[in-house]
Amino acid sequence: MRSLDLSEVQASVLAPGRWAAALLHALAREEAAGRRPPRLTEPGLATWTRFRGRLTSTDLLALLFEDAAVIHPIPFSPAALGEALGLQELSRLIVDGWLEAIPKLALQAPSPDYIFEQAQLLGLPRRLARSELHVVKAHQKVLELPGTGGQLAHHLVLTYPELTLQENCVIAASSWQELTLAGIVGLDLGAPHTNFIFRAGVEELRNPEHPLRQRPFDFVVGLHPDKGGLLRAEDQLSIWYPTARLILV
């Protein structure tokens, strides 16, 4: 089982359901990697069962997300995502089912496969021509345009071990789905914070005073217009970032 089943999530709570399922999987993977103490992956949820009292499984998610949001507000804080993603809308029975399914998840799946599955869950483009990206050196800076949620930065950091997200990459994201995936990418690569993620869409980038228009970049990468990208190199990007190498895949 690769990801949590959303088949029983009602259409009215689809957004909170997708967000919660993606983050539940992310936290379980963090625990399996030893980066967080076992809570979700503890056999029988022993600690939670002992102290939960009248709290429900939805309360467990809220507590875990609130704790994780201290260091990684993206993707764990709805306020940081700019979206009302209330866990209270989720059925307790659905969350109970997710918790029971965690032992069946492929928590140590290869990183590219895992990010592909999370992108699919969040409804984002997945089949990107990553091989068209160029070599990035340790002193260079990359801006990932809105539309791909950090998938290209993820590929670059995995491909070139001398790179890190926080030092070499800036990810612009225009929707809560993109922000969520960018935050999950940060978790997967062990980023210590989420300061490299900006909530910015095309309209924000049109503003020459925007922080992402004021910073120099060696590369600007993003989704090709033929695949749904909203920006074209020759029309806009070459004017906005005249010294950067533009690569749309």
- Residue 215: its pLDDT value, please? 93
Q: What is the pLDDT of residues 202-228, one digit of tens each?
A: 999 999 999 999 999 999 999 999 888
Say yes or no: 26 and 89 in one domain: yes
Q: Which residues contact 214 (CB under 8 A, 6 or more apart)?
A: none
Angle among Cα 21, 24, 27 to the nearest 5 degrees reads: 150
Say yes or no: 103 and 135 in one domain: no
Residue 33 lies in a domain: yes
Give the domain-ending residue among 79, 109, 139.
109
The gap from C-alpha 88 to its chain's centroid, in whole angstroms, comes to 22
Say yes or no: 68 and 152 in one domain: no
- Residue 4: its pLDDT value, please? 78
Query: Quick one: which of 78, 12, 88 has its CA closest to 56?
Result: 88
Say yes or no: 48 and 142 in one domain: no
- Interstrand relation of 219-222 and 197-199 (parallel, antiparallel or unpaired): unpaired
Percent of the chain's residues with pLDDT above 90 = 81
Residue 121 lies in a domain: no
Say yes or no: 101 and 165 in one domain: no
Of residues 232 and 43, more confidence is placed in: 43
Say yes or no: 136 and 241 in one domain: yes
Task: Give the separation between CA 29 and CA 25, rounded to whole angstroms.
Answer: 6
Phi, psi of 59 (to 5 degrees): -65, -35
Strand order in the sheet with 142-144: 197-199, 169-173, 142-144, 219-222, 245-248
Task: Give the separation between CA 218 and CA 3, rounded to whole angstroms.
Answer: 36
Query: Quick one: which of 200, 197, 177, 125 has its CA closest to 17?
Result: 177
Say yes or no: 80 and 150 in one domain: no
Say yes or no: 103 and 141 in one domain: no
Residue 125 lies in a domain: no
Task: Give the pLDDT mean for 39-46.
Answer: 94
Say yes or no: 39 and 145 in one domain: no
Say yes or no: 97 and 168 in one domain: no
Q: How far apart are the first and last CA of the chain?
A: 30
Q: What is the pLDDT of residues 118-141, one digit of tens each?
A: 999 999 998 898 889 999 999 999
Pair of tokens at residue 206: 């049109």
User: What type of residue sits at position 119?
Assistant: A
Task: Give the separation between CA 8 and CA 97, rounded to whole angstroms.
Answer: 10
- Residue 12: its pLDDT value, please? 53
Residue 234 lies in a domain: yes
pTM strictly above 0.85: yes
Residue 24 lies in a domain: yes
CATH number at residue 187: 3.40.50.150
* Continuous segment of H or E residues that includes residue 210: none
Give the domain-ending residue among 74, 109, 144.
109
Say yes or no: 149 and 103 in one domain: no
Residue 6 has pLDDT above 70, yes or no: no
Task: Give the pLDDT mean for 76-82.
Answer: 96
Domain with 237 in it: 130-248
Q: How many residues does the chain have?
A: 249
The gap from C-alpha 182 to its chain's centroid, in whole angstroms, comes to 3
Q: How many CB atoms lie within 10 A of CB 223?
A: 23
The gap from C-alpha 107 to its chain's centroid, in whole angstroms, comes to 16
Residue 5 lies in a domain: no
